[in-house]
């Protein structure tokens, strides 16, 4: 089984995870000011490190850019600090679903039952009635495009017996992939104080999805799909915005801010860009675009840190 692992990098002081309740007004003002300064500084190609760095008061912010071919870290801020993953969690839900497809346990046509518990999850969701099912192919699209919480939980129950058992499997798989600072408590990414990750770990997972399941990676580039005769549109606005961006996943809960893992693949370059804790989707996307531009521009050697890339059986 393929996996991606990083060599240890210099540890930073890790701020405690913010409480699920809102930050104080002063803290929020500092955070907003800090990230606004960040976005303003990203207007030019390849801005300097001092402009891209976010001050300490931005307690939710973290970012990393990795060259997916060489494993080189090209940029990072707070990349090993614990953060709430929000719907980035669903990347692992899909990883395990892809594994089940590879092993023959399920096929694209397999019907997944949606329990009353799964159907009761808060939005976003597809809204199922008692006793309804969804096929695996539609379930993948629902999770990628719609970020449907009811479908993610249904997948977890189908593969794990219960969402709790599935979350334990998710965490075990994270360790196997080299995600050393991630704990999963559910299949959807809905708020849970005990569920956390890091930008670095999300980069590991993004790289693992591409290297392990290239035949399924096309799902992450889809921006809409048909379900029950209706067109369901997504909200990953990075698709089509920057040439070469081909996925992967967005996420948001109040405690995390706006998160994204983005895959870039063009002109012989492959990047994984992770941004967590932005104040809005637009701000997050602006920052991702600036980081891509910076990473594709000529960079001095002292802005890169070598990391190990491994793909082992």
191 Cα distance to chain centroid: 15
Q: Which two tokens stand for residue 48?
A: 């300097």
Neighbours of 239 (CB within 10 A): 17
pLDDT of 106 reads 98
Residue 172 in domain: yes
> Which among 85, 93, 42 is positioned nearest to 62, based on CA atoms?
85
Residue range 199-210, pLDDT digits in tens: 999 999 999 999
23-29 — which CB contacts under 8 Å span 24+ positions?
A: 23/59, 27/57, 27/59
Helix/strand/coil for 263: strand
Residue 90: which domain range?
25-303
Residue 8 in domain: no
Residues 6+ apart with CB under 8 A from 86: 189, 251, 252, 253, 256, 259
pLDDT of 59 reads 83
| Percent of the chain residues topping a pLDDT of 70 | 77
- Is the model's pLDDT at 228 over the cut of 50? yes
Q: Which two tokens stand for residue 262?
A: 């983005």
Where do we find the tokens 């209706």? 230
Residue 128 in domain: yes
Q: Which two tokens stand for residue 213?
A: 């399941």
Question: 137 pLDDT band (50/70/90 cuts)?
Answer: very high
More reliable by pLDDT, 184 or 303: 184
CATH number (domain holding residue 163): 3.40.710.10
pLDDT of 37 reads 40
Domains in the chain, number: 1
pLDDT of 78 reads 96
Residue 12 in domain: no
């Amino acid at each position: 089984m393929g996996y991606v692992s990083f060599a240890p990098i210099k540890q930073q002081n890790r701020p405690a995870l913010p409480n699920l309740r809102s930050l104080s007004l002063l803290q929020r003002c500092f955070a907003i000011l800090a990230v606004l300064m960040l976005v303003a500084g990203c207007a030019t190609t390849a801005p300097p490190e001092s402009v891209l760095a976010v001050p300490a008061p931005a307690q939710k912010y973290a970012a990393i850019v990795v060259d997916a071919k060489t494993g080189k870290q090209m940029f990072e801020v707070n990349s090993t600090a614990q953060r709430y993953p929000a719907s980035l969690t669903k990347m692992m839900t899909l990883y395990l679903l892809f594994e089940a497809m590879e092993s023959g346990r399920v096929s694209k046509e397999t019907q997944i039952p949606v329990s009353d518990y799964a159907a009761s999850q808060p939005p976003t969701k597809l809204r199922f009635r008692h006793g309804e099912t969804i096929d695996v192919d539609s379930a993948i699209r629902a999770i990628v495009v719609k970020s449907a919480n009811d479908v993610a939980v249904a997948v977890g129950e189908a593969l794990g017996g219960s969402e709790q058992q599935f979350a334990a499997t998710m965490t075990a798989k994270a360790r196997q992939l080299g995600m050393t600072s991630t704990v999963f408590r559910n299949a959807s990414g809905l708020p849970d104080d005990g569920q956390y990750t890091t930008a670095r770990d999300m980069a590991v997972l993004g790289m693992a999805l591409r290297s392990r399941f290239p035949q399924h990676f096309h799902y992450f580039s889809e921006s809409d799909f048909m379900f029950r005769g209706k067109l369901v549109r997504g909200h990953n606005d990075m698709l089509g915005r920057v040439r070469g961006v081909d996925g992967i996943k967005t996420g948001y809960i109040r405690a995390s801010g706006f998160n994204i893992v983005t895959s870039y693949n063009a002109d012989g370059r492959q990047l994984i860009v992770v941004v967590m804790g932005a104040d809005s989707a637009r701000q997050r996307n602006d920052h991702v675009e600036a980081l891509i531009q910076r990473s594709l521009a000529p960079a001095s050697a002292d802005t890169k840190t070598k990391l190990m890339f491994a793909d082992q059986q």
